[in-house]
Amino acid sequence: TAGAPAVLPLVLGAPVVAWQAVFFAAPLIFLVVITFWQVKSFRLEPAFVLDNWERILGSGTFHSALIHTLLIASTTTVLGLLLAFPAAYTIALRLPTRLRDLAVAMLVLPVFTSYMLRIYAWQIVLSPEGMVNSALQWVGIGALPMLGGAFSLQIGLLTLTLPIAVLILTFALSGVDPTLIEAAENMGYRRSRVIAHVLIPAVRPALTLAATTTFLLAFGDYVSPLFMTGSKPPTLSILIVDTVKSGSQWPRASVVGVAMLVVLGLVFGLGRWFASRGNKR
């Protein structure tokens, strides 16, 4: 019939829409609703009060955790891009095909490896009796406090985000037209100018995607702040858990969660705007 082609996309898309509604939209709506509820005698009671928002948004602990989380996520993003782009450039444009495939496989492998397992491995490596400090003692430098600070936290977050950023940039650089690079080299451009004036503009959307992905993962991570720094100072993800433990305050924890989602939404929107702005040029 004439209406069949128009109905077919709706039929095919219905399962996806239902999945998103049940497992994404509904929990998100409930998360927002529960922020207005209250806890009495350790039990949730439906209500409509603004006390949870006032207590959390007016709390110095929340402000400190927000600033700390933004700082570590931004630092991870900058460090991730500084490390990921040279690695991706080498893999995509300098390695022979066999080594390139091997490098990509080595990058994919950590993605399918337990994040907790990798963090435990780093705890062993960076511990006072670990491999790094043992090597430092052997050369006469002495053991250094590597766990429980910003250094170990960045190691943990880069363990999570760096392979993904390198993969994104590797695939983007592999798709750059080689004639553009050859033309720039024929014009006498040095390698640094080729990278700055040809490669970076060509992969600007991928750079934005890598930066946004790195920030989102680092901003919401719970494992590294807990196991690499002992949750001190707390991040927003740590604050959510601490708030729940403090008198089962699920509504106040939900306020923190909604605040995190708002920040992530703003960052995602900014990333899309920046990428689209680059495409229009």
Residue 31 lies in a domain: no
Cβ within 8 Å of residue 213, ≥6 positions away:
161, 164, 165, 168
Decide: 271 and 209 in contact? Cβ < 8 Å: yes
Range of the structural domain that residue 100 is part of: 55-280
| Domain assignment present for 65 | yes
Which residues have C-beta within 8 Å of that of residue 90, sequence separation ≥ 6?
A: none
Cα separation, 205 vs 187, in Å, equals: 26
**DSSP letter (8 states) at residue 147:** S
Mean pLDDT across 245-266: 92
Range in 7-11, 25-29, 263-267 with the lowest mean pLDDT: 7-11
pLDDT at 112: 85
* Residue 21 included in any domain: no
SS3 (DSSP) at 39: strand
How many domains does one find in the chain? 1
pLDDT band (50, 70, 90) for residue 212: very high
Pairwise CA distance, residues 221 & 218, whole Å: 5
Amino acid of residue 197: H
Q: Is residue 43 part of a domain?
A: no
19-77 pLDDT, tens digit per residue, is 889 888 999 999 999 999 998 877 888 888 899 999 999 999 999 999 999 999 999 99
The proportion of the chain whose per-residue pLDDT surpasses 90, expressed as a percent, equals: 56
Q: CB of 228 within 8 A of CB of 119?
A: yes
**Does 165 or 193 have the greater pLDDT score?**
165
Q: Which of 52, 27, 24, 26 is nearest to 37 (CA)?
A: 52
Q: What is the CATH number of the domain that holds 90?
A: 1.10.3720.10
**In the block, which residue shows the tokens 């983007």?**
172
Average pLDDT over residues 265-281: 81
Task: Provide the pLDDT confidence category of residue 3 given band limits of 50, 70 and 90.
Answer: low
pLDDT band at 277 (very low <50, low <70, confident <90, very high): confident
Contact (CB, 8 A) for 12 and 24 = no
Residue 4 has pLDDT above 70, yes or no: no
38 domain residue, yes or no: no
User: Does 1 fall in a domain?
Assistant: no
Minimal CA–CA distance to 221: which of 72, 25, 64, 107? Answer: 72
> Which among 119, 113, 187 has a CA at the least distance from the CA of 147?
119
Alpha-carbon Rg for the chain in angstroms: 24
The whole-number pLDDT of residue 51 equals 92
The burial class, CB within 10 Å (0-12 / 13-18 / 19+), for 162 is: buried
Tokens of 135: 């090597």
244 domain residue, yes or no: yes
- Residue 45 DSSP one-character state: E
- The residue among 160 and 189 whose pLDDT is bigger is 160
Q: Which of 105, 89, 229 is nearest to 157 (CA)?
A: 229
Q: Which of 118, 124, 131 is nearest to 147 (CA)?
A: 124
The mean of the pLDDT values for the chain is: 89
Mean pLDDT value of segment 186-197:
84
- Checking if the pLDDT of 281 tops 70, the result is no
pLDDT, tens digit (0-9, with 9 covering 90-100), for 113-157 = 889 999 999 999 988 888 888 888 888 887 788 888 899 999 999
The answer to whether position 107 is within a domain reads yes
